[in-house]
Amino acid sequence: METGTVKVKRGLAEMLKGGVIMDVTTVEQAKIAEEAGAVAVMALERVPADIRAEGGVARMSDPEMILKIMDAVSIPVMAKARIGHFVEAQILEALEIDYIDESEVLTPADELYHINKHAFKVPFVCGARNLGEALRRIGEGAAMIRTKGEAGTGDVVEAVRHIRQVNEDIRRVVSASPEELMTIAKELGAPYELVLEVKELGRLPVVNFAAGGIATPADAALMMQLGCDGIFVGSGIFKSDNPYKRAKAIVEATAHYNDAKLLAKVSAGIGTAMRGMNIGAMKEEEKIAGRGW
Amino acid sequence: MKIGVLALQGAVREHCQAIRACGAEPVEIKYVDQLQEIDGLIIPGGESTTVGKLMVRHEMIEPLQRMGAEGFPVFGTCTGLILLAKDIHGSDQPRLGLMDMTVERNAFGRQIASFEMDLSIPEIGGPDFHAIFIRAPYISRVGPGVRVLAEYEGKILMARENNLLAAAFHPELTEDLRIHRYFLEIVSNYIK
């Protein structure tokens, strides 16, 4: 009997496909998320929109709060560690969290290095803006990838940019001849072996979710139609005026992302979405997707 | 032969690949009226609470209960096993409840306890099957009509009740097609 293998780490992400993972800050929110049909919850003290508004250093959440949420629901529970903060990750592993998000939403702890994720039995998900970044994280041991998007804005434009970039990079790898692949690996800054794997599979070797700015059922379906395997919703649910209805609608939209009639039905009468902020009007230094490399 | 894969959430792609590799035609099932087009159904791994709720919202529970009771073959892996069980320890979540057995959810612990191991399954023939267990359930009780196909340390990991097959692990995550072939045999007998 072998635990913590690449297969079981990547395997859990495979089981989450077609599902919605929701940010929750309390036991009550976690229960609402589960009732609405979430496949997992992300336990954190402040949703990204509040981290943005309040500023200061954003760190791993209080273990007490994480444990309470783990007790309250039967679905997997994830939590965030700062980029490069392997001790926060060790603590989360000691709590037996189901997945660790090494997240740019928190303040990075290391400007040079991400966590060596191979050293852990608990799987990791990491953000990426392009194929090179995704493959670097997979090379470090990430078992799941998500777009970075621009968390806490309710503006889906960056998530769209990131999945389109990943798709474009994958098409380039797939159509390349064998002698081109090393040069592509060099240009992407990606491990050569993983570039070969992408060429063979025609997709990332791990599950790829959308994250960062998803606020409506239509946003979720858009990301699914663009080829994402599932959806993270951060501030979008509990910053809206009817979280349960919206959460349920986003679950439906993710399962039936190609069914415009159903999308119309579930988008109706779910109240007002989070107000959000227009990324186009933001200064470069206000964006968090640039954290990590 | 057309094999449906319930495509509301979970590891749908992997089951479709396995079905294709066995020479049958996979059909992704998202709506209740599609059930008429298929000869058998696989309920893949996923989150059982999510899949159960979506089955209720799309009114799939009762038609599938009727079909399953009339001999229509259904194979559940992990989440599928949970949804096939009559009793789920400590939970009132939605289910098909077609197989006379009790299951324990997340029975081996959280993700950190997820594991791989070689499992003896005499019914499918050949060497041990390399089985992948992810936050897996096991069967703690079976009724008289249910045949145990695999167990480990007293925990039942695979079982069959006539046309219904259930595994606590994920044969769709390995290349070994023996279990999918075994299910396709059940389906071809049903068609006859």
Which residues of B are catalytically annotated?
78, 170, 172
Q: Chain B residues contacting A, CB < 8 Å?
A: 7-14, 30, 45-47, 49-50, 53-54, 57, 78-79, 91, 105-106, 109-117, 132-135, 170, 173
A5, A8, A251, A266, best to mutate vs chain B, most B CBs in 10 Å: A8
Q: What pLDDT was estimated at residue A28?
A: 97
- Cα distances (Å, whole numbers) of residue B163 to A131, A273, B39, B179: 45, 47, 12, 14
Write down the residue that tokens 């240009």 correspond to: A187
Chain B residue with the nearest C-alpha to that of A70: B110
Is residue A159 within 8 angstroms of chain B, CB to CB?
no
Higher pLDDT, residue A281 or A199: A199
Q: Which two tokens stand for residue A293?
A: 């490399």
Helices and strands: H and E segment counts in chain B: 5, 12
pLDDT at position B37 is 96
pLDDT digits (tens, 9 = 90+) for B63-83: 999 999 999 999 999 999 999
Q: With an 8 Å Cβ cutoff, are B112 and A4 in contact?
A: yes
Collect all residues of chain B within an 8 Å Cβ-Cβ radius of residue A101. none
Q: What percent of chain A has pLDDT over 90?
A: 94
Q: From the list A1, A8, A19, which residue is nearest B47 (CB)?
A: A19
Q: Which residues of B touch A122 (CB under 8 A)?
A: 111-112
- Is residue A285 very low, low, confident or very high in pLDDT (cuts 50, 70, 90)? confident
pLDDT digits (tens, 9 = 90+) for A47-104: 999 998 998 999 999 999 999 999 999 999 999 999 999 999 999 999 999 999 999 9
Indicate the pLDDT class of residue B102, thresholds 50, 70 and 90. Answer: very high
User: Could you tell me how many CB contacts below 8 A there are between chain A and chain B?
Assistant: 113
Q: Given A3, A39, A97, which is nearest B50 (Cβ)?
A: A39
Tell me the β-bridge partners of B76. B43, B166
The 3-state DSSP composition of chain A as helix, strand, coil percent (nearest 5) reads 45, 15, 40
pLDDT band at B113 (very low <50, low <70, confident <90, very high): very high
The order of strands in the sheet holding B129-133 is A2-3, B115-119, B129-133
Q: Which pLDDT score, from 0 to 100, does residue B192 have? A: 87
**β-strand pairing of B138-142 with B115-119:** unpaired
pLDDT in tens, A114-129: 999 999 999 999 999 9
Calculate how close chain B gets to A19, using CA atoms only, in Å: 6
Q: Is the pLDDT of residue B3 over 90?
A: yes
Domains and CATH numbers, chain B: 2-191 (3.40.50.880)
Nearest residue in A to B118, CA atom: A1
pLDDT 10s digits, A230-266: 999 989 999 999 999 999 999 999 999 999 999 999 9
**Predicted ipTM of the assembly:** 0.96
Burial of A168 (0-12, 13-18, 19+ CB in 10 A): exposed
Residues of A taking part in catalysis: 80
pLDDT digits (tens, 9 = 90+) for B12-47: 999 999 999 999 999 999 999 999 999 999 999 999
% of chain B residues with pLDDT over 90: 99
Concatenate the DSSP letters of all residues of B126-154 into one string.
Answer: SS-EEEEESS--EEEEE-TTPEEEEEETT
A15 pLDDT band, cuts 50/70/90, is very high
- Partners of B130 in beta bridges: B118
Yes or no, beta carbons of A74 and B49 under 8 Å apart = yes
User: Would you say residue B140 has pLDDT above 90?
Assistant: yes
CB B134 within 8 A of CB A12: yes
Two structure tokens written together for B124: 């499918």
Give the Cα separation of B24 and B175 in Å (integer): 16
Residue in chain A lying closest to B106 (CA): A74
What's the pLDDT at B77? 98
Task: Give me chain A's average pLDDT, please.
Answer: 96
Which range (A108-112, A167-171, A276-280, B168-172) has the least confidence?
A: A276-280
Instruction: Please tell me if residue A32 touches chain B, with a CB cutoff of 8 Å.
Output: no
Please give the share of chain B, as a percent, with pLDDT higher than 70: 100
Site of tokens 């990332």: A204
